[in-house]
Structure formats: structure tokens, C-alpha cells
Amino acid sequence: MTVLHATRASTPADEPPIFRRLRPDAGALVLASAGAAPDIWFQDVSTNRHGCVRFVVDGEWLYGCAEVDDDDDAGMQAAAHRAYADLFHVLAQSSSPHLLRLWNYFPGINADGGGAERYRQFNAGRQQAFIEAHRSAFEGSPAACALGTHTGPLRVYFLAGRIPPLAIENPRQVSAYRYPDAYGPRSPTFSRAALADIGAQRTVLFISGTASIVGHTTMHVGDVRRQTEEALTNIAAVRAVAAERAGVAFPVESLTYTVYVRRPADLAVVREVFEQAVGAHSAAALDTIYLQADICRADLLVEIEAHGFASTSITA
């Protein structure tokens, strides 16, 4: 299994190697990437397989990918159910059973899949697998994102550890797992962020894919500048809650970001707004990767995810 990440321009020496730059190989078009270089996670560790899941372990962390071609598996709902069912089987047999972060990628995310949007079908299959595995599909669900690619199978990348994370919600937003039925018969299964203890009095904050949503409503339809600003405001709200729970700040310029842009022509505006927020010459700006991808709602133009570290202990 060849799993790529992009090495950060400056990496703290005490940062665990797996966390140095979390960007699964999504098959998305890289629009811009300053100073990022390919590298391999888990060097010299053998690859394991169960069903549609390939994974590697190092005694502390488990990283893997479930891959299903939904054309051969009765549609996206069935594909998502199979991917997550096999994933949960792997975790159940592991000493690192706690999901810390998930990345979901599949083509045609906003397309009709035979009577329902493919993203809504994905949500139905994912949630059912969570319930069957006796995993929380609501409060306490993992941090995650879901993006649309142009081609390829459903790919679900996941990172798991020995200690369960602490889920974080955004006070400006309805929790995704509590969305009303207007967004589909099964709600999305993820938390807005998660704090995870990585040992040695170190904590990582994973911020899920974040967009221009307030309450449960898309804001600033058609306006990419305002949507980018709103997404960053939501990230600030999540950072504030995480700081309260962890007892230490996660400064905006200290995080590592991936920015997903629906329309390549919008890159310049998105980048301008983003760099105004994090500082044009900050490590965050220099390390950010911009990818072209479809967002989980057809009226969303940009989505931002991030992670960052602090020296602290998590309090429940």
C-alpha cells in the first residue's frame, strides 16, 4: 500500500511522524502547494488486509484505507456500508480501536444516484455501519470530511489510536448528526472536530472539513469570498471550544490546512482571504495545500480542514 503525505516545510522534532502532514492521496487535482514534497508514512511496516481495507500499524497508531467501487456493489449506500463494516472489523481486532479522523472521497458526490443524491446515499450506508458496529453515530462520532472526486472508487482513509478522542462541536452550527430530514433520511456521521491525546503531554486537534454553514443553512450562496470568510469564522469558533476543553490555545497560524476549492477559477480569491486570516508569510500559509474537489453540498464552493498540536492534557 502506497500512502502519500506532503512533508511540512518546518516540522517540530517532537511531532509523531504520522501526524507531520495528514493528507491522504485523494486523487484530487492539486491547485497550489508551496514547499510540499511527497513522502511515505510507516516506512518498513508491512501492509495488512481485511476485505476492502488495507492498513498499516506501528504498535501505537493504525492507518488505512477502505476502497470500494460502487459500480460493482449496488450503489453508493451499499459501498459505504461495506467500507465501514470492514473498517470496523479491523478496528475491533486492533489494539488501536479508536477512530481519530476520517477522510471520505468519491466521485459524483452531488450527483443523483438513482432517486437520491450520492452523498445522501453515502450517509445512509455510513450511519448504518456505525450503528451495527455499536459505534456512536451521533454524539462522540469522529472528525471527518467528505469530498467529491472526478473519478475513482469510494476511498475511506482512517486514522485510529489507543485512546478515544474528545469530540468538539461548533456553537454556531447544528451538529451534523442532528441535521433535519431536509438534508436526507440519515444525517452525516461526524463531529466538527476532535481532540486526541498522543502521549508525552501532547494533544492534537483535528478540525473536520468546515464550510460556510451557520445553524444548518448554507450561507452566501454564489459568493466564494464570503463563503471562505464564513468557513474561517467557523474554524475560529471550533478553535475556541477546543482551547477551553484543552486549556491551551490553538492559534490560527499554528495549524496545518488543506483547502478544497470547487471551481479552480476561485483559487485566487480563496487564497487571498485565507492568507489574510493566517498571515501571508506564516508557516500555515506556506504549508497549505489547495485541492480542487466538489463539496458535500452543491451550493458550497470551499471547504477547509486543519490539524494542530499543543502541549497539554485533555479534560473531559
Where in the sequence numbering do the catalytic residues fall? 303
How crowded is residue 161: how many other Cβ atoms within 10 Å of its Cβ?
24
Q: CA separation (Å) from 300 to 118, 221, 241? A: 16, 7, 24
137: DSSP letter: S
Cα 131 from Cα 278, distance rounded (Å): 39
Phi first, then psi, for residue 64 (nearest 5°) are -160, 180
Cβ contact 203:137 at 8 Å: no
What region, left, alpha or beta, does residue 222 occupy, with left being phi > 0 and alpha being psi -120 to 50 degrees?
left
Q: Which three cell numbers stand for residue 99?
A: 477512530
Instruction: Show the beta-strand stretches assigned E in 162-283.
Output: 166-168, 193-199, 202-210, 213-214, 217-218, 256-261
For strands 289-292 and 256-261, give the pairing: parallel
Cα 288 from Cα 248, distance rounded (Å): 23
